[in-house]
Amino acid sequence: MSLLSDYEERTAWKYEPIHGSFHTHEGLLHKVNPDGSYAPFQGSTVVFKAGEQCVQAIQTIQRILCHKLDGTGMLASPLPDSTVHMTLHDLISPEACTSTLPEEFSHEVADSIAMAAEIVRKIRKEYAGRKISMVPDRIVNMVSKSLVLMLRPQTDADFELLLELYHRFDDVKKLSYPLTPHITLAYFRPGMIDGDTLGAAVGSAQPDPEKSPVFEFSPEGLTAQKFLDMQTYTDIP
């Protein structure tokens, strides 16, 4: 089975329609306050910075969703353009850490960033000039916390390179879930979600497979980041 075939099989759930009422994930309250503002939520991650074409496409989708869902109270505050990125590898967050004391947690975040930044430096040098082509796949409800645009590698070679870079960070933080490339479009506001209204809005914003652009991500755009909340990210040189 090819990598892309495996990806399609593993993500077949993305075609399930959004309907019916459901409650947001209890863990969302760690990221989003009841009024839709963003709660303190610190951690570290590794992301690919998005190019202009990608940012513009994401902005268009976000505008459609915000327009369709205006007044429903289902979405948190809009995310700034600076947050548009494709996550390569999650690292440390309050949801995925071994420390319970604030000081220990801070050290764990700092250590992960230092290790990740060094790996990023090596990747940028080793893979300079390479490109990873991704195409918009599906807008989905991601574990009842957010709406995300899933991205599909254009070829098996693109997926192979993506996985190769992904596993370079396993020594920093081994994850219990597989890589599912995506860009976060919006977070839900904690509470009950009208799935029928949400599903209709998402349907109107779904990318057209025959007209979808190709987004290119490069190792030179790979960046270790520290975040203070879901709208405040700082690049680590």
Report pTM: 0.94
Q: Give one word for 36, left, alpha or beta, with left for phi > 0 and alpha for psi -120 to 50.
A: left
117: exposed, middle or buried (C-beta count within 10 Å: 0-12, 13-18, 19+)?
A: middle
pLDDT for the residue numbered 81: 94
pLDDT for the residue numbered 221: 95
Q: Which residues of the chain have pLDDT under 70?
A: 1, 97-100
Query: What does the block give as tokens for 166?
Result: 């992904």
CB burial string 24-62: b at 16+ within 10 A, e below: bbeebebbbbeebebeebbbbbbbbbbeeebbebbeebb
pLDDT for the residue numbered 84: 97
Q: For 108-127, write each residue's pLDDT tens digit.
A: 999 999 999 999 999 999 99
pLDDT for the residue numbered 99: 67
Q: Which domains does the chain have, with CATH numbers?
A: 42-236 (3.90.1140.10)
Q: Residue 52: enclosing H or E segment and its boundaries?
A: helix 52-68
Whole-number Å distance between alpha carbons of 217 and 94: 28
Please give the DSSP secondary-structure letter assigned to residue 211: T
Q: For 178-189, write each residue's pLDDT tens digit.
A: 999 999 999 999
